[in-house]
Amino acid sequence: MEAFGEGLADTTLKTLQTHLSSFNAWLSNSARGAWDRVRLDDVRAYLQEISESRSFATLRLRHWALRRLYRWASEQDIANVRIDAVLLPARAPARSPPRVPSVQQMERILAMPDTGTPAGLRDRAVLELLYATGLRADELLRLRIDQVAGALCMRVMGKGAKERLVVYGEHAANWIAQYKSVRHALLSAGGHCTTSTARLFVSDGRYPDYRYSQLRRMVSRYAAAEGLQLTPHSLRHAFATHLYQGRAPLTTIQMLLGHEHLETTTRYVSRQFEDDHALLETHHPRGGQYRRLMRDAGAVQSNERHRLWAVHTQPKSSLCEPSRASRRVSASDLR
């Protein structure tokens, strides 16, 4: 698995293992032989069975897992099965964009954890950091305690083993500092010693590391109290959408999210709170607010481009020096 799973996030690697295990079990149950001796017709039969019993999203994931497996097997001269010759059925209807909480809803969710307890402080720190940075769940769970040692930025290893700079404000840093003071209490409650893990976020359960299942349940619980259905990834969408609503450039949001392509970033931006009439009034030459905006926007945009260019061209050793930022990273910080 390690040979052809290189560069994948832990959660993605587990997904790959799950789908390949299902394929191997199907081969065994149908007496079709070992995976390295299958014929293309066997693969077609498997994917056809999946298409009849599972969702289109699952079918795509199974197809992706098999493509990755047999591409690697071909490179290693183990098997030669042309998975790309197996065409998937017509694409399923596009799903509606994910529901993104409003700024006011996010503020209420952030205030829900009981910060009088170690677990509540951890929840608050996790929620604040997810919303302030747009981190992926796997990136957050893999953070080491030495990565947040006081500076208001950190380097994370993202999807595809790509490193990027993540910045956040003192609001999130304050809750992280409070959580770090009780981190040992959570570990002790679970019977773990302080040095049992180097990860920043820990659990008082069987395992010392805070796990995705725990993170997902926590986010879902607080969101349900607000009448919403959210996942940790929903907060990444909220981060991008609220920056966009604050008129942050899409290219800036792309850089902060760590996307290679701008098209990917546009999928994270929701317009559900946009007022189209106000947008035209502000940005169209015939709008009543257009001239005032043109007078004020030039200098602001120029300063912002210069600041972002300076941050991302500094030597690596100086990138995480303490900043004078005083708020959670939001749209107003990027104006």
CATH number at 258 reads 1.10.443.10
Q: Is 187 left (phi over 0), alpha (psi -120 to 50) or beta?
A: alpha
127 burial (CB, 10 Å; 0-12 / 13-18 / 19+) is buried
Rounded to the nearest integer, the mean pLDDT of the chain is 79
The set of residues, in sequence order, having a beta carbon less than 8 Å from that of 168 and lying 6+ positions away, is 129, 132, 133, 152, 153, 328, 329
Identify the domain boundary among 85, 118, 136.
Answer: 85
38-75 burial, b at 16+ Cβ within 10 Å, e below that, comes to: beeebbeebbeebbeeeebeebebbbebbebbbeebee
Residue 170 covered by a domain: yes
In this structure, what token pair is assigned to residue 39?
């014929």
Residues in the chain: 335
Residue 38 covered by a domain: yes
* CA separation for the pair 204, 211 (Å, rounded): 11
- Give the mean model confidence (pLDDT) for residues 186-190: 93
Verify whether residue 261 is a known catalytic residue. Answer: no
Q: In this structure, what are the phi and psi dihedrals at residue 295, rounded to the nearest 5 degrees? A: -70, -35
- Count other Cβ atoms within 10 Å, centred on residue 257: 22
> What local confidence, expressed as pLDDT, does residue 148 receive?
86
For 123-154, write each residue's pLDDT tens digit.
Answer: 999 999 999 999 999 899 999 998 887 778 88
Residue 66 covered by a domain: yes
- Give the mean model confidence (pLDDT) for residues 54-64: 83
Contact predicate 156/195, CB 8 Å: no
* CA separation for the pair 14, 111 (Å, rounded): 33
Verify whether residue 236 is a known catalytic residue. Answer: yes
Cα–chain center distance at 224: 20
Contact predicate 218/130, CB 8 Å: no
Whether 251 has a pLDDT exceeding 50, the answer reads yes
Verify whether residue 259 is a known catalytic residue. Answer: yes
Give first-to-last CA distance, the chain, whole Å: 45
- Give the mean model confidence (pLDDT) for residues 148-172: 84
Whether residues 312 and 181 share a domain: the answer is yes
Residue numbers of the domain that contains 23:
10-85
Residue corresponding to tokens 């290219």: 251
Q: What is the largest CA-CA distance in the chain?
A: 73
Residue 5 covered by a domain: no
Helix (DSSP H) and strand (DSSP E) numbers for the chain: 14, 2
| Top-confidence residue, 288 or 124 | 124
Q: Which of 71, 99, 233, 247 is catalytic?
A: 233
Verify whether residue 237 is a known catalytic residue. Answer: no
> What local confidence, expressed as pLDDT, does residue 309 receive?
52
* CA separation for the pair 318, 297 (Å, rounded): 30
Q: Which of 19, 136, 171, 328 is catalytic?
A: 136
Residue 93 covered by a domain: no
> What local confidence, expressed as pLDDT, does residue 2 receive?
45
Residue 249 covered by a domain: yes
Whether residues 113 and 51 share a domain: the answer is no
- Half-sphere exposure (Cβ direction) of 320: Cα atoms closer than 13 Å: 17
> What local confidence, expressed as pLDDT, does residue 335 receive?
41
- Global pTM? 0.61
Whether residues 268 and 175 share a domain: the answer is yes
Q: In this structure, what are the phi and psi dihedrals at residue 251, rounded to the nearest 5 degrees? A: -65, -35
Whether residues 75 and 142 share a domain: the answer is no
Verify whether residue 136 is a known catalytic residue. Answer: yes
The winner for highest mean pLDDT among 13-22, 84-93, 108-117 is 108-117
> What local confidence, expressed as pLDDT, does residue 270 receive?
66
Verify whether residue 171 is a known catalytic residue. Answer: no
pLDDT confidence bin for 195, thresholds 50/70/90: confident
The winner for highest mean pLDDT among 156-165, 228-237, 257-266 is 228-237
7 burial (CB, 10 Å; 0-12 / 13-18 / 19+) is exposed
Whether 109 has a pLDDT exceeding 90, the answer reads yes
> What local confidence, expressed as pLDDT, does residue 325 receive?
38
